[in-house]
Amino acid sequence: MTQASVVDLHCHSTASDGALAPAAVVERAAGNGVRVLAVTDHDTVAGLASARAAARAHGIVLVDGLELSVRWGGHTLHIVGLRVDPEADVLREVLARQLAAREDRAERIAAKLRRAGVEAPLEGARREAGEGAIGRVHFARHLVACGVVDSLQAAFRRYLRRGQRAHVACRWVSLEEGVAAIRAAGGQAVLAHPTKYGFTRTLLRRACEAFHAAGGEAIEVITGGGGPGDVDAARTRAEQYGLLASVGSDFHDPERRWNDLGRLRPLPSSLTPVWQSWPAGCHPEVVS
Ligand code: AMP
Ligand code: MN
Ligand code: MN
Ligand code: MN
């Protein structure tokens, strides 16, 4: 059963592909009963300053975070960084490379969409992204706005997903570089939503092994919309590799009700939470 959780360590704002501005994400989280919130936008920390101000106004704790896309073999993994110093040089350098990779990919996606007959795809996606880090969701929104498809899901299924006509690989930093940057910025690296990559059990085990070997510390055991099978699969890997356990809704949009802020199952009590060693000021069991 999903319940109100006082801690939510994974969500998105308009700084990347979320629907709400950082301050509105914080306000919604506070309204849902969250007391400790990490805002974790894709490959950027640009939303954290206004999220922090809003958190202060709503009396909740903001954990500085982000979600890095990284290359592992021919696959992309998502690594959430928690309690990072957003100003750390190593992190800034990696984020500059990630944004350049996103820009380069956007141009190549746009070229493919133009060939598929879509008008002004780059301009459209940029408009959707505003000041945020451009991503596939912005192209998907443009495709919906133009009437090319009738939902974001359909945009991914028909155009943007791997194997589809407007998919292009992105030159993300490697798993090792991503984890190292999060650690150098003083943060903890969390393997995000382990069952959402579409991996076989064997491939997921190998990904967890590589993540652990790279210095990754935690795995998301509770993720928005996941069922008991997802929790079990992540718990198995947490136990196997001695990883700490994290919880996060991966909230993007109030319309996607299955992963609303703070609507999370409880963490199995046998696991050690990622916040175990956090100071009292941001420790979910102390502040709540
Ligand atoms: P990007 O980081 O730009 O490659 O985009 C990845 C993001 O696209 C994910 O974080 C999700 O927000 C979104 N996404 C991926 N697959 C789908 C899908 N099938 N339907 C809707 N959104 C999706
Ligand atoms: Mn996203
Ligand atoms: Mn993700
Ligand atoms: Mn996410």
186 close to 83: Cβ distance less than 8 angstroms: yes
- Closest ligand 1 atom to the C-alpha of 134? 3
pLDDT tens string 179-224: 999 999 999 999 999 999 999 999 999 999 999 999 999 999 999 9
Instruction: Show the tokens assigned to 67.
Output: 């979600």
CA 102, CA 58: separation in Å to the nearest integer? 33
pLDDT tens string 246-270: 999 999 999 988 899 999 999 999 9
Q: Is the CB of 139 under 6 A from ligand 1?
A: no
pLDDT tens string 30-89: 999 999 999 999 999 999 999 999 999 999 999 999 999 999 999 999 999 999 999 999
CA of 137 from ligand 1 middle (Å) equals 6
**Residue located nearest, by CA, to atom 6 of ligand 1:** 136
pLDDT tens string 52-67: 999 999 999 999 999 9
**Residue located nearest, by CA, to atom 3 of ligand 1:** 135
What does 218-269 look like in DSSP terms, one character per residue? EEEEEETT--HHHHHHHHHHHHHHT-EEEEE--B--TT-GGG-TTEEPPPPT
CB-count burial class (<10 Å; 0-12, 13-18, 19+) for 102: buried
